[in-house]
């Protein structure tokens, strides 16, 4: 499907410079795009490609001042990256909307309820009392346990497993291989050195507009709910333990782990491979650097931390700068010690 620059501009509230009838039918990176493709420029370090690219249509920021003529039709917007993301979302919706109906073989318990305009791929399993909302897409190998509720406009990719009693809100996306509602890591140590399993009878709640990456595990609560609040985005390969709460619009990067009963605030950013211990609170707006180990609560909103154990980001940078200077400092101290020793010796002689 092909769209003109004018049509694309209408979708993203942009203004066309150049040929408004220039057409694009696919997407391309600005440094590699071919005629008939749409590209975007948001990062200034790629500006050189703006003047050499073969793309037919390019989305750029309103603030960008051209240094030389551009052959492509330009669409100026407030934020090129966001506008491009909007277009990609629109394209993806067009593709997924074409998926409809129930393939075979599928197991659907007689008590399961399915909304309208759904797509249920082959080898999907819907257990007792499952409820699936309108416009949901379930790809091959999805498993929904007893009493699972899936809201409207959700997409569960191949191999997603949702255990009993878990609840998904509207517009939730879960990528392949992710497990929602597996048992929390709860064991009571015994006198003989063994461990007795503590039954995990809670559930997981994913609120609206949550997106979970591939091969992530979110454990069910021991009692109550593990909760991922609306708009939160979790990357691939993340472990979220039982009774954790992740706040609204919080983002967590790959290979991070959050231990049990920790409460993470709203708009928090957690870098890759970071670890957060259990039973602590992370204040709203906190930023946790990659590979940090957070061992105590972050109580002040909008605090940035790094290191293991994690501490204030700015202080950590100062400490690193001092550490780099230690060899030179050692040399200077040694020279000062020799000078002091020489002065003492001279004084004794006098």
How much is the mean pLDDT over the chain? Answer: 94
pLDDT, residue 160, reads 98
Q: Is position 275 within any domain?
A: yes
* Residues 240 and 178 reside in one and the same domain: yes
Output the domain CATH number for residue 36: 3.40.1390.10
In whole angstroms, give the CA distance from residue 348 to residue 155.
86
* Residues 330 and 193 reside in one and the same domain: no
Mind listing the pLDDT tens digit for each residue in 154-174?
999 999 999 999 999 999 999
Q: Strands 203-206, 179-182: parallel, antiparallel or unpaired by DSSP?
A: unpaired
Q: Is position 113 within any domain?
A: no
Mind listing the pLDDT tens digit for each residue in 108-127?
999 999 999 999 999 999 99
Whether 242 sits among the annotated catalytic residues: the reply is yes
Of the candidates 109, 157, 175, 242, the residue annotated as catalytic is: 242
Instruction: Give the DSSP letter of residue 45.
Output: G
Output the domain CATH number for residue 192: 2.160.10.10
* Residues 286 and 167 reside in one and the same domain: yes
* Residues 172 and 65 reside in one and the same domain: no
pLDDT, residue 346, reads 75
SS3 246: strand
In whole angstroms, give the CA distance from residue 331 to residue 90.
62
The mean-pLDDT minimum among 34-43, 151-160, 189-198, 338-347 falls in 338-347
Q: Is position 116 within any domain?
A: no
**If you write DSSP's letter for every residue of 145-184 in order, what string do you get?**
-TT-EE-TT-EE-TT-EE-TT-EE-TT-EE-TT-EEEEPP
Q: Is the per-residue pLDDT at 273 higher than 70?
A: yes
* Residues 345 and 227 reside in one and the same domain: no
SS3 202: coil
Q: Is position 281 within any domain?
A: yes
Q: How confident is the model at residue 93 (pLDDT cuts 50, 70, 90)?
A: confident
Q: How confident is the model at residue 310 (pLDDT cuts 50, 70, 90)?
A: confident
- Residue ranges making up the domain that contains 344: 324-349
Give the residue from 73, 208, 62, 81 showing the smallest Cα distance to 133: 208
Mind listing the pLDDT tens digit for each residue in 11-51?
999 999 999 999 999 999 999 999 999 999 999 999 999 99
Letter string b/e over residues 227-240, b meaning 16 or more CB atoms within 10 A of that residue's CB: bbbbbbbbbbbbbb
What is the number of domains present in the chain? 3
* Residues 174 and 225 reside in one and the same domain: yes
- Give the CA distances from residue 65 to residues 50, 62, 70, 148, in Å, rounded to whole numbers and listed in that order: 12, 8, 12, 53
* Residues 205 and 269 reside in one and the same domain: yes
* Residues 196 and 290 reside in one and the same domain: yes
Q: Strands 3-4, 23-24: parallel, antiparallel or unpaired by DSSP?
A: antiparallel
* Residues 289 and 215 reside in one and the same domain: yes
Q: Is position 200 within any domain?
A: yes
* Contact of 233 with 239, CB cutoff 8 Å: no
Q: Is the per-residue pLDDT at 350 higher than 70?
A: no
* Residues 199 and 64 reside in one and the same domain: no
């Amino acid at each position: 499907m092909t769209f003109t620059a004018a049509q694309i501009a209408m979708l993203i509230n942009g203004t066309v410079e150049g040929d408004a009838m220039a057409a694009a039918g696919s997407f391309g990176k600005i440094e590699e795009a071919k005629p008939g493709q749409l590209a975007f420029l948001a990062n200034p370090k790629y500006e050189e490609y703006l003047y050499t690219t073969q793309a037919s249509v390019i989305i750029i920021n309103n603030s960008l001042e051209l240094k030389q003529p551009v052959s492509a039709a330009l669409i100026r917007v407030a934020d090129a990256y966001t506008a491009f993301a909007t277009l990609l979302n629109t394209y993806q919706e067009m593709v997924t909307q074409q998926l409809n109906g129930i393939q075979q073989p599928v197991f659907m318990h007689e008590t399961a309820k399915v909304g309208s305009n759904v797509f249920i791929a082959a080898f999907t399993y819907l257990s007792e009392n499952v409820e699936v909302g309108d416009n949901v897409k379930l790809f091959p190998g999805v498993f929904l346990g007893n009493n699972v509720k899936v809201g409207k406009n959700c997409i569960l990719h191949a191999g997603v497993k949702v255990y009993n009693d878990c609840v998904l809100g509207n517009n939730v996306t879960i990528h392949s291989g992710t497990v929602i509602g597996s048992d929390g890591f709860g064991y009571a140590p015994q006198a003989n050195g063994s461990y007795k399993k503590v039954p995990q009878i809670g559930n997981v709640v994913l609120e609206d507009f949550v997106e979970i990456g591939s091969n992530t595990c979110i454990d069910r609560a021991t009692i109550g709910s593990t909760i991922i609040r609306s708009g939160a985005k979790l990357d691939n390969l993340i472990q979220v333990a039982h009774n954790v709460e992740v706040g609204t619009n919080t983002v967590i990067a790959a290979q991070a782990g959050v231990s049990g009963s920790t409460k993470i605030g709203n708009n928090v950013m957690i870098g890759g491979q970071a670890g957060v211990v259990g039973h602590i609170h992370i204040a709203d707006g906190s930023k946790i650097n990659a590979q940090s180990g957070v061992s105590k609560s972050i109580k002040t909103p909008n605090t940035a931390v790094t290191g293991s154990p994690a501490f204030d980001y700015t202080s950590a940078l100062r400490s690193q700068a001092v550490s780099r200077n230690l060899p030179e400092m050692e040399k200077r101290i040694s020279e000062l010690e020799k000078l002091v020793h020489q002065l003492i010796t001279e004084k004794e002689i006098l």
